[in-house]
Amino acid sequence: MKKVLKGMPFFSAPGFKKHVLVLAVCMGLGLGTIHTAGAAPTRNVNPPSLKANAPQVYVVKKGDTLWDISKRFLKNPVRWPEIWASNKHVKNPHWIFPGDHLLMCDYQGRPIIGKDEGDGCAGIISRYIGSTALQPQVRVESLNNTIPVIPLEHIKQWLERSTIIAPESLTRTPYILGTADQRVLAGKGQKVYSRGKGIVAGQRYGVYREAEPYMLTDAKGNKYNAGQELIQVASAIAVRNENDISTLELTDTYTAEVRRGDRVLPEYDPMLPTLFYPTNAENVTSGGQIVRVLGSIGTAARHSVVTIDRGTTHGLQAGHVLSVNQKGEVVTDPKTKERIQLPGERIGNIMVFKAFDQLSYAYVLESELPIKVGAAVQPPLLDE
């Protein structure tokens, strides 16, 4: 697997598709907060609470996601890893496929759920505690069929073509100066000219459009630039250099055509996550909020993508689930005429799928009401 140098932007590359095929449900031992036989949870005393109508048997269907399945069984879906009885004897115990039968079993007074291999709960428990050595088995399945955490087509654009970098990283970065045919816009197959040092003939580059910077307010009320969002609009190959003017041929265009002022940066093959899964966001700096709804100027709902003002420097990483709390309305007391702030309410959950230094992209797993910019985010309570 390719390495990504620290500080490098998280750029897209043609290798994205092969990576995304193995972006599967990750619930295996050694990959999260999974409690083996007899082990006590690291944070929670009580076992996760099952829903009153949780099924004893569930057949996985095409179109299911891990979050959907978790919600069928648990009051708090983020605690799914605590009850998943993965099979330690198979190579990828975390993968589940359409047609798999999931059984809810009782082990030492607490629920566990596993895949039925034809021997029911007895087999699930035996494999869970490692007391049964299975004979080698072969199961041929396309990785396209694995059950994802979330529908990948809903986040592909931001996984593949968007990044957020420190504003100072753009200083003296080459930019598009004009086109070979003197048009304002350029597309695939056309030549463009860039100005700036560092372009090497024969190498591939990405052409990026600058979105609005993320201007946030610190604790003292001062505004600062927390990051510059870049959207890749094209790929190109450098064909010639003359002083600080370079000629590039556009090999692909994506969400828009290239125009003057677009940035030219090396096109890296990123190390995209091949496995991520919903986990509780413990030890994350408090006070976070939603600062942008991507792809929309309005509010967010289920399946939307949002940006939050928490990143790796705040302890956040891909897979972390956060609750969304909408601020209560300010109303006038009919008796005293005072202006009163009503309590806030939890209205949904989001999952981080791409984290940067100060900011992160997150997917809206569910929402009871439209989610507005400014809504607070925090780790969900695990007392259910």
Q: How far is residue 80's CA from residue 76's CA, in Å, rounded to a whole number? A: 8
Start-to-end Cα distance in the chain: 39
Q: How far is residue 300's CA from residue 294's CA, in Å, rounded to a whole number? A: 9
- Write down the pLDDT at residue 25: 34
- Write down the pLDDT at residue 76: 86
- Write down the pLDDT at residue 143: 41
Give the global pTM: 0.74
- Whether 151 is in a domain gets the answer no
Q: How far is residue 378's CA from residue 325's CA, in Å, rounded to a whole number? A: 8
- Whether 180 is in a domain gets the answer yes
Same domain, 308 and 351: yes
- Write down the pLDDT at residue 180: 87
Among 92-96, 108-112, 305-309, where is mean pLDDT lowest? 92-96
- Write down the pLDDT at residue 92: 53
Could you give the number of structural domains in the chain?
Answer: 3
Q: Is 263 exposed, middle or buried (0-12, 13-18, 19+ CB in 10 A)?
A: buried
Same domain, 89 and 111: yes
Q: How far is residue 264's CA from residue 247's CA, in Å, rounded to a whole number? A: 11
- Whether 3 is in a domain gets the answer no
Same domain, 360 and 317: yes
- Whether 11 is in a domain gets the answer no
Same domain, 262 and 286: no
Residue 143 backbone phi and psi in degrees, to 5: -65, -20
Place of tokens 């048997």: 57
Same domain, 84 and 141: yes
Q: What is the CATH number of the domain that holds 169?
A: 2.40.30
